[in-house]
Structures are given as C-alpha cells and as structure tokens.
Structure 1
Amino acid sequence: MLLLVPCVLPTWSAAEVLFSWSQIVVDSKLSVRAVVPSGEACPDLYVDSQSVKMSTRADPEPGAFEDRVCESLLSPSSTPRVIRIGSRRLPDISARVGYNRRDGLARIVFVGDTGCRVSRLLEQDCKSPDKWPLRQVLSGISNQDPDLVVHVGDYLYREVECTDESKCDKRIYGDKSSTWAEDWLLPLQSVSDKLVFLFVRGNHESCNRAYKGWFRYLDAYPLSKQRYENCEKITDPWVLDLGHWDMGDVGFYVYDSSSSDEIFHRGSDVQSMRQKFLKGISSVRSSQMWLLTHRPLWAYWKYGMEYYGNVPQTRAIAEVMPEKFVAVVSGHVHFAQILSMRRDEHDKKGGGACSQQASGRACMKSITQIISGNGGAHLNAVKGEQPMAALSLPTRGGSVGAGLNKIAKSAYRSLALHGFVIDDVSTLGGFGFCRVDIPVNGEGHPVTQGKQAAVTFHGVGGEELRKFLVATTSPTGLRLNR
C-alpha cells in the first residue's frame, strides 16, 4: 500500500525585510544580517531548512535610525549551505569558493569610496547613473564571479543638505538610516544575493562622521553599548584566514585607519597605532599576508600639492611590517593606482632601519600598494589632467607639482616615504574596481603566470583596463603585464 506523507515546508517569517546580506567578520565567521522596520521583530533565518535564530544587533533610534538590525553568526563550512531569509537566498562563502572551477585560483574583488558626494564644496549628481555609477560597478563586480568582495571603506558621502534637488534629495543626508539606505544599502541589495562581502572602515565612518551607521550595519565586531554610544576611535585589527574557507594559505589583516590624520601626528599617536597593528600579528598563521586599510600607506597624487600617502600610518606600520606581508590594499584616493615600494636600506633613520625587534620577525623588503578608490564617489582629478585620463609618473629624481615650495615638498616626501622608495607607479582614472586572482596552495596558474598574484583594474562595466603581476614569495615587486 502506498502511504502518502504530506511534505511540510518551513513557514517563512512574515517580517518585512528591508535589506539583507552576508559578510565575513572576526574569527573568519559568516555574519548574516537583515534590516527590518523599527516596529518589526527579527526575521527567521533558515540554513539548510533548519531554523537559526537571528538576534537584534542594533535597536531603533528614533529620529535617526528608524530600523532594527538583526544578525546571526555561522561558522566556516566545508560544504555549501542553503541560506534563506524569507524567499531570498543569501550567498555562503563556502558555496562561492570557485577555485576548483578556476583550476586552483581564488578570486577577490576590491572596491572602495562608493557613496555619492554631497558636501559644501561639491554636489555630485546622485540621480545620474553616469555621474554616480555604483550600481553598474556592483553589477560589473558580480559578473566577475568572485569568491569574496572587499569594500575598502567610505560608504556614506551625503553629509550636508542638498541644494540642487535635480541632483540629490534634500532630506537625505547625515548619519541616519535613510542616508545609509541611499548611499549603500539599496545598491548593495542588487547583488547581495550573489556576493559575500568584507567591510573595512573608512574615514567617512570615523568618530566625527558616520560612525553610528558603521557600527550598526557593517562593523565586523559584536555591537556593544560602549562601542556605539562612545564611538571606538580605532577598532582592533583582525585576520581573515582564507584557509578556513579552503582558499589557500593567505590571510587578510584588516586594520582600522579611519581616524588617522594625513600628515600631522604626535609620537604617542604613532606608538598607539603601532601597538594596535602589532596586537594581532602573533595570531597570524598564514604564510602570505595582505594588509587591508582604508588610508593608503603610500600613494602618488598631484593636485596643487603632492600626496605621497598617510604619514602617521607609514611611520607606525611600515617600519615593523613582517616580511610575509606582500601587499597593501586601500581606497581613500579616488582613482585606481598601484605602486611598487622598496625599503631603502641605506636610510638608517627612517623605515629602512627595519625595527625587527618590535615585530619579533624579519621585516619585509618590498611590497605592493594597491589603491581601489574609484567605486562611485566623485573622482579625484590629477592637476592638468581630466579624471578619465590615465597617468604614469616618474617618481625618482626632481620634484614635480606646485603649491608648496621645494623645501616643504621635500620634507613631506621624506616624511611620507619614511625610508622607502617608489620603484614604479601606474594610475588609472575613471570609475571601476580591482580584481585579484591568487593561486591556491602556492601552485602556479596560467592567469598569474606562475605563483604570483594577478591584479587587474576594471572599468564600470567590468572591461579590463590593465593587469599587473605581484610577487608573493620573493621581494621582487610588481611588473606590468603589457
């Protein structure tokens, strides 16, 4: 006799979900987050049809944040899981890992500085997809089929009331839920069912700017009352071990540079930043490390004056950075750039001295600085060039640029480089993102021409603009693949 047993499907939560996504957080866990209206309870989360409780991460704050943020943490898994909130499926990084279909290649995309700038000096046209192309950039990223997307900081740019309503909405500005929705959460929804993210804090999320939204929605740590109400100026660094997700012996060291000044600093500031940086080094087990920090240690930009990077951060970190660090990935400057940096071992006063005693390990001798700060915010133009123009600059020899006298420029250059030399630099204008392909388990790959990592800059729609190869096992710097 055939016995018919009714199939019982899970009853999805009736809670109205405004936004949902999955992101990597401390301890290499997957955080599934959902935002619901202030009057709603947290929705049900289902993992392989099993109910998992979502708890409140952030309560509503009347007048500013008219929503509730919910969260559930999942440990790394070696098998793909089906994750759903209501009828919406969210990605699991174990299911996203695609190195098998790419023959041993892990693919990470970096994007940064994505919000629409509305300030007292400039009103970007937030209603024009050509002038603020964030959704197209995210679509282009999705088409790359990455295993992980890293946002290197600066999400909220609508900081003052808009005066031209043909470009932006007058009431949407400041650190509140409606602004976060327009500048990041709504665009995120277009790809959050396909992509897993890691978020880095930018200077637009510092304690005198949009810090509350940062801690509510995106921070990798549990939200405490102390951190939220008093604003934690510099959060502790943390490590994403890609090995937990079967993506190779590589670690991403996430460092909070949101509150660092650009040039001026006290000795105590440098010491505090160095202590923060070294705090998590002892826990690093990966043989290859990439530093993720919003403000670049090094850069080259000329607009009235020369900008060589973040002086306090360089003085605090570069001198003690262990040799297993092969690259720094940042945003902050609104274009795409890659620099090959070498320690000047003849400079015994600056970073060339290499403070091995402080880190307890041999110092790196060369490193690649990558800047991916062209995700949507108004682009930085190089003086004398249009924002869309590509730029290649000499970096040794005579001083260039104007606006500061030669002595001042020389002094700043010395402070910023601090015992390091720029061997090569390439800069690209226009909106876009950066893709990094890393060979898994140190095995060679045709895309990377061996054991190197391949860094590719892409335009808005994903078109490939320029490709570089970064050494990951020996201090030979980068080279341009023309």
Structure 2
Amino acid sequence: MNFYSTAKLRLIGALAIGSLLAACSSVPIQTGQDSKMQTAWVVIGENGQAIARAITTDTTCPALVQDGKAASMSIRAAADTLPLRKTASKPEDSKPSTFPVLTCEAALLASTKTASIAGRDLPIPKPVAQKIIVIGDTGCRLKVADNYFQSCNDSEKWAFREMVETAARFKPDLVVHVGDYHYRENACPEGNEECAGSPWGYGWDTWQADFFTPAHALLKVAPWVVVRGNHETCVRAGQGWWRLMDPRPLKRGRDCVDEGNDMRGDYSDPYAVPLGRVGSEQAQLIIFDSAKVPIKPLAKTDAAYQLYMEQFKTVNALAESADFNIFIDHHPILAFAAERKKDGPLNIFPGNLAMQDIMQTLNTTRLFPSRVQATLAGHVHLFQALTFSTDHPVQFVAGNGGSSLDTPLPIPLAANSTPYTEARLDFFSNSNEVGFMTMEREQHSWKIQAWNKRGKLITECRTQGKKTECKNK
C-alpha cells in the first residue's frame, strides 16, 4: 500500500470518527471568540440549578467551557418567526414575533470554578449568596392604549442602564428581577423624537433593546433569578419569556405560540432557590409566577383559583425546607398601589385581593406560612418598604427599575391605612426615584437597603427572624 492510499484511509477514518462524534453531540463545538454572540449569562432555576444561556445569530450553538473542558450547548429555541396571535393590543398595532437567533443552554456543574462561552467569562454561583441586588419593572413603555410613549432615547428619562451600571459596582453574588422586562409593545408615533427608531412588538430586537443590552453590566457580574411579570403573559411578551428567560425547559404547548394553550403558558409552578447557610440559618428564595393574577378575587369555581390554590400549597411545603424564606412574585400582596387620573385625586389601593383571598384560606390572616419572613414584588412602579406590628412578613416593592414611574404615596399615610384588612402598618416608606435594592446577609440578620440610580441611600432596614426595623436616610 503506498503513501497516498494510507493517507486516504486515515482521512476516511478521521471523517468517520468526526461523523460519530457529531452524531453524539447536539451541536458542533465552538470555543473561540464569536462576533455573532449576542449575549451570554447565567440563570438560576429549581433547587439552585445554574443554567448557562447564550443567544447567537449563528446557525449552531457555541461551546460552554467549564474548568477548561468544552462541551456543546443544546438548542433551547431555534430561529423562527412566529405567526401573529392575539395580543394585548389591537391587530393593527401588533405584528408577528421574529427571533432571528438561537437560544442555547447547558447546565453548570456544581463543582465548576470557571466557565465561559465564546471567550466571555460567566459569573459562577457562590455556595452562599451574601449580597443580592433586587430590581424590577425596567423596560421603556411604548403603549398606544395608554397614549404613553416613554423617552427611550433619553438616558435620564429611561434610566435603566444607568441604574444597572451603578448596581453592578456593588459586586453582587446574585441578581433578582421581580418581573416586567419588556414594555415596548407598540410603534413609536411618527415625529416623536423621544422614542424614534425604537423597535417594538415582542420579538428579539425589542427584548434586546429593552433588556439585554442595557442589563449587560449586571448580566456579566452575577447569576440571575428571574421572576415573571404581567408584561410576560402570553398575550404580551410570553413567547420571549419562554424562549429566552424562564429557567425551566421550553415545551411545546406552554410556549405561548398557540393561544389555545394559554392556560399552560400563563401559569407555572413555584420553586425554591437555596441561598446557603450562614451560622445556623438556612435561607432560600421561593419564586411564584403571579403573571396572570387579576386584581379582584377569583370565583372559587374558576380554573385559575384552583390552580393558584394548589400552587400556594406547594409554597407552604417549600417553606419547610429553610429557616428563612423570602417569597418573591410580581404583584405586591402586602403593599399599596396608587393611581392618579388626569387632574384627579390620588387613589390608593390595597395589595392584590385575588391572592389575599386564596392565601388566607390556607394560612388564615398571616397569609404566608410561618417560615416566610420577607416578601418581594414589583408591579407598582415605586420602591416601598412596609413593616407590621401584626405577624406579617416585611414587604418590599422594587418596581422603580426604570419604566414609567408612579406618583409616590403621601407620607404619612391616612390613619389606619393598610394593604390588608388584618395587617396593622408599623412603618411605611416609598420613593419614585429610579433605583434598586440590596439585601446583605449578616451573621444573625439581613441588612436591606434601597438606593437611587446613582447609589444614594434612600431607606435602610434590618431583619432578624420575624422582626424588621426600618429608617429613612
């Protein structure tokens, strides 16, 4: 056999081995710098499982490199233009959602010390999350129905990016977003320079402009826990929520593509994210999907009532796994909402009545299981801190992340004001400055602070067990 025959056989053998390896891998492995990479980050899911995510305009997924070892990522969602479905807007103000990108994912091993995708280092979860950043309601509102078009081109009037860059300097171990990432639902009116050129609708270009590009500094420094808001329901940005954000597997039927399956797409089960142990205290987050919850109580015969009832039973069971539990959803349960109509008085509303009605059936007047000591939410575009002389967990609202801000509530409030009939308010603070929260674990307590977009302290609280004390700065 001559040299050329030998070489030919070696080439055939190499190609055969290459084909076999390719067949055993979901996508080809790429490890170098990649100009097609749009973003890469880490999201934390059930039981604290860290998941590396990447979005690319390439036709194949990049490799995830963990401690120097490369492995292919799986395709979570292929590039696609989804058919136009019923949305929250009129048909003439809607369009199909286009995702000309691959969403790729792979689990991070618990033992991983370093990880990267296409040359971009990923933040690694810490066994104990000492410092947590909390943000919410961050997108730039463009909405025909409200005739409201926020100044997306003005970093002072839409200050999400500035707030993010300030928060990133705090070097958090974890970031929690309490929901509503996406607000650019409709086209900017012709001639409006404040939002001219903005993408709109529910596709990738809008998600990129409203969240991924301005959030870059925080996506880079810490893993994220993502909570779903009402702007991520199926009639709004639910398709992008499932393709890009949610830590659970993307499944046909709950992807918000077919509106006939919206009962599956709009509801998802609660789960816990462990925060590790400090001293004798094991802490965790309990994540609850309240995206579709109404304002008024549901009829007990309503399918959503039965579904939420089972989910709150799950919350009760999850709370038994830790000494200190922080319940997180999008809609405030123990906080206020405010609304001022044009030239009218400021109307103040209590916490979400639908959830209160269901929760008191399981946990009587406390609403929450006894091991839930704090609760976080967004939805109301203010920062709020509320403590109670009754046995209710401290409530924080971090809805001041950059979207159109609400009118602040008066301080002091009218006598006997309460977000829930069985709760007696002890301390109340609120602000409509764009900002974020930090939650820091100490040896026997938590220090919770609210900051404005430039890092000026607004309010500080300390929680030990069921007792929280707050003061304004």
TM-score norm. by structure 1 comes to 0.79
Q: Name the amino acid aligned to 1:422.
A: L
Displacement after TM superposition at 1:14 (Å):
4.8
Work out whether residues 286 and 318 of structure 2, in 8 Å CA contact, stay in contact via their aligned partners in 1.
Answer: no
Map of 1:67 onto structure 2? 101
Map of 1:469 onto structure 2? 462
Any residues of structure 2 matched to 1:215-234 within 5 Å, and which?
A: 215-228=242-255, 229=257, 230-231=261-262, 232-234=265-267
Map of 1:111 onto structure 2? 135
Work out whether residues 395 and 422 of structure 1, in 8 Å CA contact, stay in contact via their aligned partners in 2.
Answer: no
Map of 1:279 onto structure 2? 314
Question: Matched residues in 2 for 1:108 and 1:140: separation?
Answer: 14
Question: Matched residues in 1 for 2:375 and 2:67: separation?
Answer: 37
Work out whether residues 395 and 423 of structure 1, in 8 Å CA contact, stay in contact via their aligned partners in 2.
Answer: no
Q: Give the alignment partner of residue 424 of structure 1, picking from 420, 423, 427.
A: 427
Map of 2:269 onto structure 1? 236
Map of 1:36 onto structure 2? 56
TM-score norm. by structure 2 comes to 0.80
Question: Matched residues in 1 for 2:185 and 2:235: separation?
Answer: 11
SS of the residue 1:241 aligns to: strand
Question: Matched residues in 1 for 2:435 and 2:182: separation?
Answer: 18
Work out whether residues 76 and 245 of structure 1, in 8 Å CA contact, stay in contact via their aligned partners in 2.
Answer: no
Q: Name the amino acid aligned to 2:331.
A: R
Question: Is 1:18 matched with 2:38?
Answer: yes
Displacement after TM superposition at 1:282 (Å):
2.3
Q: Give the alignment partner of residue 317 of structure 1, picking from 335, 359, 375.
A: 359
Any residues of structure 2 matched to 1:349-360 within 5 Å, and which?
A: none
SS of the residue 1:296 aligns to: coil
Question: Matched residues in 1 for 2:143 and 2:39: separation?
Answer: 26
Q: Show structure 1 runs of 5+ residues with no match.
A: 1-9, 100-105, 344-364, 384-390, 400-412, 444-450
Work out whether residues 31 and 65 of structure 2, in 8 Å CA contact, stay in contact via their aligned partners in 1.
Answer: no
Q: Give the alignment partner of residue 382 of structure 1, picking from 408, 424, 430.
A: 408
Work out whether residues 15 and 42 of structure 1, in 8 Å CA contact, stay in contact via their aligned partners in 2.
Answer: no
Residues 253 and 11 (structure 1), Cα distance of their counterparts in 2 relative to 1, 3 Å cut: closer
Map of 1:360 onto structure 2? none
Amino-acid identity (%): 26
Any residues of structure 2 matched to 1:334-373 within 5 Å, and which?
A: 334-343=381-390, 365-373=391-399
Question: Matched residues in 2 for 1:452 and 1:246: separation?
Answer: 10
Work out whether residues 382 and 408 of structure 2, in 8 Å CA contact, stay in contact via their aligned partners in 1.
Answer: no
| CA root-mean-square deviation | 2.4
Any residues of structure 2 matched to 1:146-157 within 5 Å, and which?
A: 146-157=172-183
SS of the residue 1:108 aligns to: strand
Map of 2:292 onto structure 1? 259
Q: Larger deviation: 460-469 or 300-309?
A: 300-309
Any residues of structure 2 matched to 1:52-131 within 5 Å, and which?
A: 52-62=71-81, 64-77=98-111, 81-94=113-126, 106-120=130-144, 121-131=147-157
Question: Matched residues in 2 for 1:333 and 1:112: separation?
Answer: 10
Question: Matched residues in 2 for 1:67 and 1:253: separation?
Answer: 31
Q: Larger deviation: 417-426 or 182-191?
A: 417-426
Map of 2:14 onto structure 1? none
Q: Give the alignment partner of residue 293 of structure 1, picking from 329, 334, 343.
A: 329
Residues 325 and 283 (structure 1), Cα distance of their counterparts in 2 relative to 1, 3 Å cut: closer
Map of 2:236 onto structure 1? 209
Deviations 1:194-250 (A, max 9, x none): 121110000100122110001111102111112113342211000001128999610
Residues 247 and 237 (structure 1), Cα distance of their counterparts in 2 relative to 1, 3 Å cut: farther
Question: Matched residues in 1 for 2:388 and 2:309: separation?
Answer: 20
Aligned residues: 406
Work out whether residues 32 and 72 of structure 1, in 8 Å CA contact, stay in contact via their aligned partners in 2.
Answer: yes
Work out whether residues 57 and 223 of structure 1, in 8 Å CA contact, stay in contact via their aligned partners in 2.
Answer: yes
Displacement after TM superposition at 1:71 (Å):
0.3
Q: Larger deviation: 313-322 or 153-162?
A: 313-322
Question: Matched residues in 1 for 2:315 and 2:458: separation?
Answer: 36
Question: Is 1:190 matched with 2:228?
Answer: no
Displacement after TM superposition at 1:15 (Å):
7.0
Question: Matched residues in 1 for 2:306 and 2:278: separation?
Answer: 34
Instruction: Determine which structure has more spread, i.e. the larger CA radius of gyration.
Output: 2
Work out whether residues 236 and 255 of structure 1, in 8 Å CA contact, stay in contact via their aligned partners in 2.
Answer: yes
Residues 340 and 283 (structure 1), Cα distance of their counterparts in 2 relative to 1, 3 Å cut: closer
Question: Matched residues in 1 for 2:380 and 2:230: separation?
Answer: 11
Displacement after TM superposition at 1:270 (Å):
3.8
Displacement after TM superposition at 1:426 (Å):
0.9
Displacement after TM superposition at 1:297 (Å):
0.2
Map of 2:347 onto structure 1? 305
- Tell me which stretches of 4 or more aligned residues in structure 1 moved more than 4 Å: 244-248
Map of 1:407 onto structure 2? none
Work out whether residues 290 and 329 of structure 2, in 8 Å CA contact, stay in contact via their aligned partners in 1.
Answer: yes
Q: Name the amino acid aligned to 2:462.
A: L
Work out whether residues 387 and 394 of structure 2, in 8 Å CA contact, stay in contact via their aligned partners in 1.
Answer: yes
Work out whether residues 469 and 481 of structure 1, in 8 Å CA contact, stay in contact via their aligned partners in 2.
Answer: no
Q: Show structure 2 runs of 5+ residues with no match.
A: 1-29, 82-96, 340-345
Question: Is 1:143 matched with 2:169?
Answer: yes
